[in-house]
Structure 1
Amino acid sequence: MNPRRLAVLALFCSLLAASSTSANPILRGRIVDANGAPVAGAVLEIKGTKLRATSDEDGAYQVELPPGSYTLVVKRIGYAAEERTIGVPGPETEGEGLNLTLAPAPVPMRPVEIAGTWSLLHARGFALPVADLSGDRLRNGATVSLARAIEGLAGVHDLHTGEQIGKPVIRGMTGPRVLVLDDGLRLEDYSWSEEDGPSIDARLAERVEVVRGPASVLFGSDALGGVVNAIPRSIFADAPEQAESHFGQEAYLSSNNTEFGGAFLAERRDTGFGWRVFGLGRKGDDFKTPSGKLENTGFGAGNGEAMIGTRGAAGSWTARYARYSGEFKLLEAGESAAGAGEGGGPERKAADDRVQLSTTRQLGGVRFEGRGQWQRHSLIELADEADSTGAPVPGSESVQFDLLLNTVSLELLAHHGSGRFSGTFGFSGQLQKNDTRGPIPMVPDADVRSGGVFAIERLDFGRLSLLAGGRGDVREVKADSNAGLALAAETRDFRQLTGSVGAVYSLREGRKLRFNVGRAWRAPTLFELYTNGPHLAESRYEIGRRTLAPESGVEADAGLVLERARVRAEING
């Protein structure tokens, strides 16, 4: 080979080797209390930068730092803030790293943002496997369907009829066996067919977290297969130097189904006050496959949110309004509808409005949280009327059924403890009213009342953490009489006890063993109990069974977790 070429190649290889070894040092260690017990959920901030880390269940943390001098600040509710100055590189980025000890504080620091019951999955753990989707991975794949956005996560699949409607499938379970949350609050809608999905636009979420396994001890009915939580971006800045304002818009185009859309964002984020207005619209044509176009699978949607809140040393409050609405054309059973379009096949009109209020207050050594939500969910199906031969008449669109669901939910939590022993007591309640309108009743008018109380406790022994929780739920369903369904008025009552026991053991830094056994349940839906009529789009006739009992299951999970600065791996069984 030419000597000059060899010299150039050698120079290139040396530069490549140098770049591959120029990674910044990693600061790692553990955050513990005065007794040496790990402190989970402690926030380590690097003053003057946006770098931060949160300690895991073993108190371990790690953050990559370029060379320089830094001041570290560690905060956790129930402890005094700890501040430390270090130099990088230095002894803190070598060997066992930097271990930090937090002292109990009679007056806690400013409370962190409300996360409700969902936060207990991280703070208390229960050793349930949790996966998340955020950043560019979520943004690039964020469609109007939440299930389509997360189907790439481990153990998660999607049951869908095009780009517009999909249901998350976790461990083979879907529909009412998978609970969907919007910022930690239950999402109540009609999940009775393959043509309905969660009323959340994935684009509104900053990240989506998925729990695989039974979680009824935290959330009550429906969390049999798992839980999906869509979490919006915080309106608060973590530090004064991170305060910012955003104003912008964007547009996009997808070639498969000629989907196009746009979004508008305006927000202000500060440490004690924040607000946001976020809106987006989408419109898509029929879905295309290698075999051709699936007629009548287009959609149009307009979704958004508005949020405002304040927080301080004594507590915080936030208010949020979210809107999900659209018209979704339905792929019919059998062959595709010829000439689908306006009046060319059935379609669903969905509208979902949610008002959410949250507050937190610190009283002595107990932190109280209160969260409430009002949700109005409307679902209307339209189809062409048939002539004397049974053929659809184009342009003769009429309402087939019209359903309206109003739900009021409340959640109250009390968190205690800051050392080896900590826990949470909670109450959740719900009032729900179902109104059946339109020519096809589908289900009767009904009122549903439910409530639950639970307790979750954690005991730490160095590297070993033991976790246990129990819950009791009651639900009452009062169905009105309905001549069209040949149904007399009746009342059904359901009562269930659920529980969970788990353990987390830290083998070495970044590696943990987890084990959990839990019992979950779900109450039968109104459709499973009382429906009586044809489901034309799916070519079937549905008949409910009024004597159905609650469904329950017991599941055991074991896993090995490996976490490094740039890698996270998990083996579960």
Structure 2
Amino acid sequence: MKKILLALLLGSPLLNFAQNKLSGVVTDSINQPLKGVSVFLPDVHKSAITNESGVYTLNNLPSGNVKISFSFVGYNTENKSVLLNPGENLLNITLLQSEFKMDEVVVSTVFNKLQSQNVMKVEHSNVRQLQHKGAVTLVEGIATIPGVSQISTGTSIGKPVIRGLSGNRVLVYSQGVRLENQQFGDEHGLGLNDSGVESVEVIKGPASLLYGSDALGGVLYFNPEKFAAANAFKADFGQRFFSNTLGSSTTLGLKTSTENLKFLARGNYTTQSDYAVPNGDKVTNTRYNEKDFKTGIGFSNDNYSGVLRYNFNALSLGIPEDGIAEQTNSKTPDYPRQSVYNHLLSLNNTLFFGNSKLDLDLGYISNTRNEFEENATPDLKMQLNTFNYDAKYHLPKTGKWESILGIQGMHQSNTNKASEFLIPDAVTNDIGFFGTTNYEWKSNVIQAGLRYDNRKISSDAHGITGTEGSFEAVHRSFDSFNAALGYKTNFGKPVTLRLNVASGFRAPNLAELASNGVHEGTNRYEIGNSDLKTEQNLQTDLNLEYNNDHFEFFVNGFYNFVNHYIFTSPTAEQIDGYDVFRYVQDDAALYGGEIGLHIHPHPLDWLHYETSFEMVNGKRKDGDYLPLIPANNWNNTLRGEFNLKNFADGYASLNVSHTFNQSHVGTFETESDGYTLVNLALGGKVIFGKTAFDISLNGNNIFDEKYIAHLSRLKTDGIPNIGRNIILGVNFNL
């Protein structure tokens, strides 16, 4: 039995290693070899880099069909499906030049196509590029993606918003498993640090077909950093400094790989004092400290690939209550404060069966949330433990058909361990079954799928009925059928059209079903409704793109109708001086989209101009506007790229972002004025002999504009967002 368990965890080492080999030469359009091309096999987490002759070699590969991608800056990415036979296999590739960003392999939509081949429009952003924009946190970085915003509390807490939907309506995946961390609450962030995260993919719209409940509004899929290439060792050190908060972020990482084993580890420590508004005053108790550690080990042989990863995140942050009061540079959070600990353990497995394969992802998340009002004893302590599993069987490819059958599930327990209860002790169980298929011919692709889900929630009774903090027992079961249909085609070479229709659902969360007390984040008394129905939506998305060598244009439009939208409504009552709100439901609709273009004029090959505009509107059936709808935004960036004698891959950019006023507000929301922010960036690789390091310098809100973002939770107190912030970053390969 022990040998069987060891085989499952370490990749069936009792089996013989594969002798399959794949090699080839990568050249450009005039048959010149390309050095430094990244060659990556996502199924087995293996990579290689072409040498001076453009040659790459990958050993110990499984037999059967595998996907392989070739990517190089300035060239179109090539994504191939290769049938590997026992022994040596040859695959030569020609890459064509491209003036725009590299086409990326999309992981979040299960068929692992390049974005240009994908039926769904998925936004893909490299985290290093987001950092080059001057993003302080991971959520602040993804909020620069058109269609994505954040609900913020100072600089420490950011909750993602996708086209007007947030909280439990947006699902987050990290390390290949769904992240559960009491996401219904506004008083803490994702519990994810950008260190050790390579990229993020954003599905804007219902993704319940692939992910089940809570993906009604969309998905954020964070891809961890890749392992080192075979027989390589890498170590790096990075440091960023922030002028406004007198803060710093330090990261140290190392990774090494053999032909079959892979290992990496990365640590990060971030500390920030209170942020300053444009007149120089600091917003009291917005300081925070964050520790993050990630590690992973991978193993692969002829019929198995497995990766075991672990992420620990500890965030200690102040809760601002007094506005602009005590002025200090202290980085130690004062009371009231929070301590949030998150452990994420994932095991990603792929088993190869010749022409088919099985992906099995297992995850365990332990989330501990502590709130301290006046002393070191927590007044609120919530322990959320979640085990989830996700199995997808890729059927043998039949002609132009690719199909996947899957089962997903989750077991979750919430336990209160302090005197104050925000939600009751409860157990949640999910299970879902789905099938999806992809048919591709010429430049056309059709993708369709069906899914069934069941969620059961059982909560315990607590306290004396009718008093604050008491809960009646809730036992509910929620069922949902969902479907998705998408079509993608090219009109000639430059024009791509995508049309998707999909349904999604979300079962009510514990706060909505059972709340009974003061919600400190909203400063009101909230009462749950155990009779709430499942939210069910239907969204239509249209994407049109035009691309040539020097011009890129896109327009995205969507209409999202939500049945039984859950929200809080006032009752005209008061308890202990707090207005009483109850959870109710009404149908709602959201609509809007994004439009943008990217110009790379010839012969000014070093110059890029990008502009985008995004908007979303949301209304309930009764005519009232939905709350927490982001204001319209127009974003412009002028970017130049250059190379100097001791300064390679240089860039300089000017960004002007104009956010419009928001007058379409929900009940008890306040309107917001518009504002314009100007940001500057400069960076590249400094070279002194054999020593080289990356450097970046950002000036955010360079003119120290005083503004209050519409989705800032400090808006009701009239507290402005952060003022001018100069960020200096350096990164060394050791």
Name the TM-score class by shorter chain: 0.7 to 0.9
- Secondary structure, aligned partner of 2:111: helix
**Pairing 1:226-375 to 2, within 5 Å after superposition:** 226-235=218-227, 237=229, 243-291=231-279, 292-332=281-321, 335-336=323-324, 338=326, 344-375=334-365
| Structure 1 counterpart of 2:81 | 76
- Secondary structure, aligned partner of 1:412: strand
| Structure 2 counterpart of 1:550 | 534
- Secondary structure, aligned partner of 2:378: strand
| Structure 2 counterpart of 1:5 | none
- Alpha-carbon spacing, 1:118–1:346, altered in 2? closer, same or farther (3 Å): farther
| Structure 2 counterpart of 1:48 | 51
- Secondary structure, aligned partner of 2:144: coil
Moved more, 366-375 or 480-489: 480-489
- Alpha-carbon spacing, 1:64–1:379, altered in 2? closer, same or farther (3 Å): closer
* Match status 1:488 vs 2:476: no
Shift of 1:486: 3.2
Match of 1:169 among 161, 166, 170: 161
- Alpha-carbon spacing, 1:121–1:361, altered in 2? closer, same or farther (3 Å): closer
What is the rounded CA distance, in whole Å, between the counterparts of 2:285 and 2:47 in structure 1?
Answer: 52
| Structure 1 counterpart of 2:10 | none
Shift of 1:159: 1.1
2:245–2:274: 8 Å Cα contact kept in structure 1?
yes
- Secondary structure, aligned partner of 1:482: coil
- Secondary structure, aligned partner of 1:399: coil
Deviations 1:491-527 (A, max 9, x none): 1100001110011112233532111000011111111
* Match status 1:516 vs 2:505: no
Match of 2:131 among 134, 139, 142: 139
Q: TM-score, normalised by structure 2?
A: 0.61
| Structure 2 counterpart of 1:527 | 511
RMSD over aligned CA atoms reads: 3.5
Moved more, 528-537 or 201-210: 528-537
Amino acid at match of 2:391: L
Tell me how many residue pairs correspond in the alignment.
Answer: 488
What is the rounded CA distance, in whole Å, between the counterparts of 1:305 and 1:61 in structure 2?
Answer: 27
1:73–1:82: 8 Å Cα contact kept in structure 2?
no
Moved more, 537-546 or 354-363: 537-546
| Structure 1 counterpart of 2:709 | none
- Secondary structure, aligned partner of 2:130: helix
1:158–1:168: 8 Å Cα contact kept in structure 2?
yes
| Structure 1 counterpart of 2:523 | 539
Match of 1:403 among 366, 376, 382: 382
Deviations 1:380-421 (A, max 9, x none): 11112xxxxxxxxxxx45422100000001111111243311
Shift of 1:275: 0.6
What is the rounded CA distance, in whole Å, between the counterparts of 1:284 and 1:554 in structure 2?
Answer: 42
1:404–1:435: 8 Å Cα contact kept in structure 2?
yes
Shift of 1:76: 2.2
Amino acid at match of 2:287: G
Shift of 1:563: 4.7
1:343–1:383: 8 Å Cα contact kept in structure 2?
no
Match of 1:463 among 418, 421, 443: 443
Shift of 1:273: 2.2
Deviations 1:147-166 (A, max 9, x none): 11211111111110111110
Match of 2:412 among 432, 440, 450: 432
- Secondary structure, aligned partner of 2:168: helix
What is the rounded CA distance, in whole Å, between the counterparts of 1:245 and 1:566 in structure 2?
Answer: 38
- Alpha-carbon spacing, 1:327–1:74, altered in 2? closer, same or farther (3 Å): closer
| Structure 2 counterpart of 1:97 | none
1:521–1:553: 8 Å Cα contact kept in structure 2?
yes
- Secondary structure, aligned partner of 1:176: helix
Shift of 1:446: 0.6
What is the rounded CA distance, in whole Å, between the counterparts of 1:476 and 1:121 in structure 2?
Answer: 32
| Structure 1 counterpart of 2:578 | none
Q: TM-score, normalised by structure 1?
A: 0.77
- Alpha-carbon spacing, 1:493–1:51, altered in 2? closer, same or farther (3 Å): farther
Moved more, 173-182 or 488-497: 488-497
What is the rounded CA distance, in whole Å, between the counterparts of 1:187 and 1:252 in structure 2?
Answer: 27
Amino acid at match of 1:371: D
- Secondary structure, aligned partner of 1:425: strand
Q: What are the ranges of 5 or more consecutive residues in structure 1 without an aligned counterpart? A: 1-23, 29-39, 53-58, 67-71, 95-112, 385-395
Shift of 1:365: 2.1
| Structure 2 counterpart of 1:34 | none
* Match status 1:180 vs 2:172: yes
Amino acid at match of 1:406: N
Moved more, 344-353 or 143-152: 143-152
What is the rounded CA distance, in whole Å, between the counterparts of 1:507 and 1:325 in structure 2?
Answer: 50
1:73–1:83: 8 Å Cα contact kept in structure 2?
no
- Secondary structure, aligned partner of 1:527: helix
Q: What are the ranges of 5 or more consecutive residues in structure 2 without an aligned counterpart? A: 1-26, 32-41, 57-67, 99-104, 558-734
2:317–2:338: 8 Å Cα contact kept in structure 1?
yes
2:176–2:346: 8 Å Cα contact kept in structure 1?
no
- Alpha-carbon spacing, 1:337–1:311, altered in 2? closer, same or farther (3 Å): same
Match of 1:381 among 356, 359, 371: 371
Deviations 1:238-297 (A, max 9, x none): xx5xx4211232322101111112111111134532110100101101112214321111
- Secondary structure, aligned partner of 1:194: coil
- Alpha-carbon spacing, 1:236–1:366, altered in 2? closer, same or farther (3 Å): farther
- Secondary structure, aligned partner of 2:343: strand
- Alpha-carbon spacing, 1:400–1:93, altered in 2? closer, same or farther (3 Å): closer
- Alpha-carbon spacing, 1:535–1:73, altered in 2? closer, same or farther (3 Å): closer
1:331–1:537: 8 Å Cα contact kept in structure 2?
no
- Secondary structure, aligned partner of 2:276: strand
1:534–1:542: 8 Å Cα contact kept in structure 2?
yes
| Structure 2 counterpart of 1:214 | 206
Shift of 1:543: 1.8
- Secondary structure, aligned partner of 1:217: helix
- Alpha-carbon spacing, 1:116–1:435, altered in 2? closer, same or farther (3 Å): farther
2:143–2:160: 8 Å Cα contact kept in structure 1?
yes
- Alpha-carbon spacing, 1:45–1:146, altered in 2? closer, same or farther (3 Å): closer
1:143–1:202: 8 Å Cα contact kept in structure 2?
no
- Secondary structure, aligned partner of 1:234: coil
| Structure 2 counterpart of 1:388 | none
- Alpha-carbon spacing, 1:478–1:537, altered in 2? closer, same or farther (3 Å): closer
- Secondary structure, aligned partner of 1:189: coil
